[in-house]
Structure 1
Amino acid sequence: MKYRFITVEGNIGAGKTTLTHLLAKHFNAKIILEEFADNPFLPKFYENPQQYAFPLELFFMAERYKQMKETLRHNDLFQEAIISDYLFTKCLLFAKVTLPEEEFRLYQRLYDIIHQQVTFPDILIYLHAPINKLQANIKKRNREYEQSIPNDYLFKIQETYTSYIKEHNIKTIFIDASNADFLGNPKHMEVVLEALERDYDNGQHYFSLP
């Protein structure tokens, strides 16, 4: 295993958690999963984004920070790797989309203080799927509060992620997840595992699934 800390990222409904579970099982790695269900503002945000975006993003940042710090501090010596289904930087990326300018500037000041204390992953796996695939996955997993997410919101999230990754030249394995079925098609997992075996400098490296 080349990496001690791997993060799987992507838009809402891209399949992050499924792939994270499979990779953690394959590598006998400790797993960090986004505890989104604990955020009491999430259903309210989808009903009234303007009113609830700021408390939503603050709650997520506080919980992600606490979870990351605790897990990374108490890493099990018998589990050589950690695999997460979120990048701490997503706090800032989502806030950039959801918050008005003045609130975003305040949020960024808090983020700038906190994020320096969080370990950045050795490599990022980014699942890139078209909006229609994301919407199909969202409908399939049937979380009631997600069913009315507009395409425009998903598009803005996608653009914010990809711009950030390219701008900062982050070491990233981009997976075209248009037809991804990591649970049902072993060849799709093989593509990811083989990609993780390669040596990379920083930058983006693109892979398609058969």
Structure 2
Amino acid sequence: MDYHFITIEGNIGAGKTTLAHLLSKKLDARLILEEFADNPFLPKFYENPKQFAFPLELFFMAERYKQLKDMLVSRDLFNTVTVSDYLFTKCLLFARVNLPEEEYRLYQRLFDIIHQQIVQPEILIYLHAPVSRLQQNIRKRNRTYEQSIPDEYLYSIQETYSTYIRNHNVPTLLVDVSKADFLNNPAHLQAIMDALEKRYDTGLHVVSLPD
């Protein structure tokens, strides 16, 4: 396989972390996972988005940078495979939805400075699911602060991601995970593995999972 840095993205509840775990085992890869549980502003944000959106997004950006900057000094970056369950640009996408215009412009200035220092993935796997499936997954994993996420918020995040992946310059595998079961259906995981054996141009490339 030609890819050394693989990133998985998608909306809240799309199954990013599950797939990242499975791929890292299959590929004997280094695994980088979003450390959302350490963000003290996350429960507060869901209770009062206007008050806590800015510190929430700043904390996330700092933590993601701290994780990913280690790759800059890693001597074996391109001798081993790394799988991450988030894209650093996620910072900007969520900030676009969560922040008012003036705060967003300030946040974007900070992002632009930091983003230049981050290694970009060679391929992105984007997991797409309808909001009804996302809500089902959110209920199933039972994080208390997530249980009242409104559909409208998930739609906003979905649209922001869709706009981004149509215009960015990283080859992207678009996977409909409406009926995916990577844990219990080996054929679904194998479809992703097979897709990663190919080379892709910049743009979207649809990967279909078997029934």
TM-score (norm 1): 0.97
Are 1:56 and 2:56 counterparts?
Answer: yes
Are 1:174 and 2:174 counterparts?
Answer: yes
Conserved? CA contact 1:8–1:87, under 8 Å: yes
Conserved? CA contact 2:71–2:119, under 8 Å: no
Structure 2 CA distance for partners of 1:112 and 1:150, relative to 1, 3 Å: same
Distance 1:52 1:196 in 2: 39
Could you report, residue by residue, the CA deviation over 1:66-94 in whole angstroms, capped at 9, with x for unpaired residues? 11012442355796111100000000000
SS in 1 for 2:31: strand
SS in 2 for 1:205: strand
1:205 match: 205
SS in 1 for 2:137: helix
2:33 match: 33
Distance 1:23 1:50 in 2: 37
1:103 match: 103
Structure 2 CA distance for partners of 1:96 and 1:201, relative to 1, 3 Å: same
Query: Amino acid of the residue matched to residue 55 of structure 1?
Result: P
2:189 match: 189
- Compute the displacement of 1:170 (Å): 2.8
Query: Amino acid of the residue matched to residue 61 of structure 1?
Result: M
SS in 1 for 2:196: helix
Distance 1:75 1:192 in 2: 27
Conserved? CA contact 1:10–1:128, under 8 Å: yes
SS in 2 for 1:164: helix
Runs of 5+ in structure 1 lacking a partner? none
Distance 2:59 2:75 in 1: 24
Conserved? CA contact 1:169–1:204, under 8 Å: no
Structure 2 CA distance for partners of 1:151 and 1:75, relative to 1, 3 Å: farther
Identity among equivalent positions (%) equals 69
Query: Amino acid of the residue matched to residue 21 of structure 2?
Result: H
Conserved? CA contact 1:30–1:79, under 8 Å: no
SS in 1 for 2:149: coil
Distance 1:199 1:76 in 2: 22
Conserved? CA contact 1:7–1:83, under 8 Å: yes
Runs of 5+ in structure 2 lacking a partner? none
Select between 82-91 and 153-162 the one with higher mean Cα deviation.
153-162
The number of equivalent residue pairs is 210
Distance 1:78 1:87 in 2: 18
Are 1:118 and 2:139 counterparts?
Answer: no
Distance 1:78 1:171 in 2: 18
2:164 match: 164
Distance 2:10 2:77 in 1: 29
Query: Amino acid of the residue matched to residue 209 of structure 2?
Result: L
Distance 1:87 1:170 in 2: 11
**Over aligned residues, Cα RMSD in angstroms?**
1.3
